[in-house]
Amino acid sequence: MAVPKRKVSRSRRDQRRAHDSLQPSNTVECDNCGELKLPHHVCKACGSYSGRDVKEPEGGI
């Protein structure tokens, strides 16, 4: 069974975890309605993608 020979210091432990933080999501403005959406995804507010109406908007009638 592998057992560490020395205690890992707080500094070394935290340096290893430096890239584990959450990154902000990348959002762009919809060309049709101006809502924020993920790039290369259908807009949830108006249902358009690349200037075309693709589907009915969510939260319909």
CA distance 9 to 21: 20
- Which tokens go with 31? 């060309």
And the tokens for 6? 């020395």
**Whether this model's pTM surpasses 0.85:** no
pLDDT at position 52 is 86
Neighbours of 33 (CB within 10 A): 13
From CA 22, how far away is CA 46, in angstroms rounded?
Answer: 29
Specify the pLDDT at position 41: 93
Evaluate whether 51 touches 43 at the Cβ level (below 8 Å).
no
Residue-wise pLDDT tens digits, 8-55: 999 999 999 999 999 888 999 999 899 999 999 999 889 899 888 887
What local confidence, expressed as pLDDT, does residue 13 receive?
96
